[in-house]
Amino acid sequence: MTALRNSGFRHIEVERIAGSLGAEVRGVDLGEDLPDAVVAEIRQALLENLVIFFRDQTLTPETQLRFARRWGEIHLHPYMQGMEDYPEVLEIVKTPQDKKNFGGSWHSDQMFTARPAMGTILYGKEIPSAGGDTMWTNQYLAYDSLSEGMRRMLDPLKAVSRGDNFSSHDGKTRKEYYADKISMKVKDPGSTQTVTTHPLVRTHPETGRRALFIGGHVHRFEDMTEGESRPLIDFLMQHSTRPEHTCRFRWKSGSLAFWDNRCTQHFAINDYPAETRIMHRITICGDTPS
C-alpha cells in the first residue's frame, strides 16, 4: 500500500488500498471520545479517499453511535427494523439459512429519500472465515471518464429513485420479496417518503466535485418512461462499476468502514453460504442533492 503524500496528517496514518478509492486509517481508537482535531483529520481522509477503513476496533453500540453523531443526524431505515435497545443501529445478519444478503447489489444508501445518506458506518461483529467482502466504486471517476458529449447530455437529467425497486421480482414489495429469504426484520415505512427525484449528476457539497448519482434504486428518469430509461440506466450502472473504478475490502472482526454515499456506490458480496455474518450499521443523514 502507498501512503498518501502532502496531506498534512498529524494525528492519524493513512494508506491507500487501491488507485481509485479507499484507504486504511491507523493510529486512532474509535471507541474513545475523539478530540476535534482527530475528527477533522478523519474527515479529510474520508473526503480524499471516499471510503476509509479501521482495523482492530472494539466498539459497543453506544460508542459506535457516539462516533457517528460527530458527523450529523442519525438516519432510521424506513424498511428495516433497528436493534431493540438501539433503534439507530441496524444489525445486518446473514445466517446459513438465509437465501439473500442485505445490500447485495450496487447502490448508494437511501437514494430514495429526500435527503440521501451522507455517510454510512459499518462495523464487523462476526465475519465468515472467507468471503463476505464489500466493494465500492468511485462516482467521481465514473462521471469524469465519460465523453464530453455524454456528460452534456446527462448534466440536466433527473433520476427517480424508489425504495421498493423490485420490478424484476413480479412487482413484490421489499417485505414480500424478503419474507422467506432473510432473517432480518422488515417493517412498513408508513408515511416516510420512499420515492424521490434527484439530479443524475450531483455536486458534492464539501469538495465541489461532480459525481454520477446512480444506483440500484433508480428506476427511470424524469419525464421518461421506464422502458425509455432502462438502456441508459444499464449503461451507467455498468460504466460506473468498471473494475478500475472500484476497491474491495476484506473484513475481519473489529474492522470498520466509513464511506461517503454522495460519491460512491457499494456492493456486499454474498459468497459464504454455510457461514454467518453479523455487522452493525449506522447511517448519517445528508443534504438535498444539487
The grid coordinates of residue 272 equal 459464504
Q: Which residue has the higher pLDDT, 190 or 276?
A: 276
pLDDT of residue 6: 42
- In the chain, % of residues over pLDDT 70: 92
* Architecture, CATH, for domain 2-284: 4-Layer Sandwich (3.60)
pLDDT in tens, 66-118: 999 999 999 999 888 999 999 999 999 999 999 889 999 999 999 999 999 99
Segment 11-26, tens digit of pLDDT: 999 999 999 999 999 9
Q: Looking at residue 264, what is its pLDDT?
A: 98
What is the spatial distance between Cα 25 and Cα 201, in angstroms, rounded to a whole number? 29
Q: Are 203 and 210 in contact (CB under 8 A)?
A: yes
Query: Computed from CA positions of residues 79, 80, 86, 92, in that sequence, does the dihedral angle turn out positive or negative?
Result: negative
pLDDT above 50 (res 238) = yes
pLDDT of residue 209 exceeding 90? yes
Strand (E) or helix (H) holding 41: helix 36-49
pLDDT in tens, 110-147: 999 999 999 999 999 999 999 999 999 999 999 999 99
Q: What is the pTM of this model?
A: 0.93
pLDDT of residue 3 exceeding 50, the answer is no
Q: What is the mean pLDDT of residues 247-272?
A: 98
* Closest of 211, 205, 198 to residue 151, by C-alpha: 211
Q: Is the pLDDT of residue 5 over 50?
A: no
Residue 153 above 80 pLDDT?
yes
Higher per-residue pLDDT: 190 or 250: 250
Instruction: Identify the pLDDT of residue 75.
Output: 93
Domains of the chain by residue range: 2-284
The catalytic site residues sit at: 107, 109, 266, 281
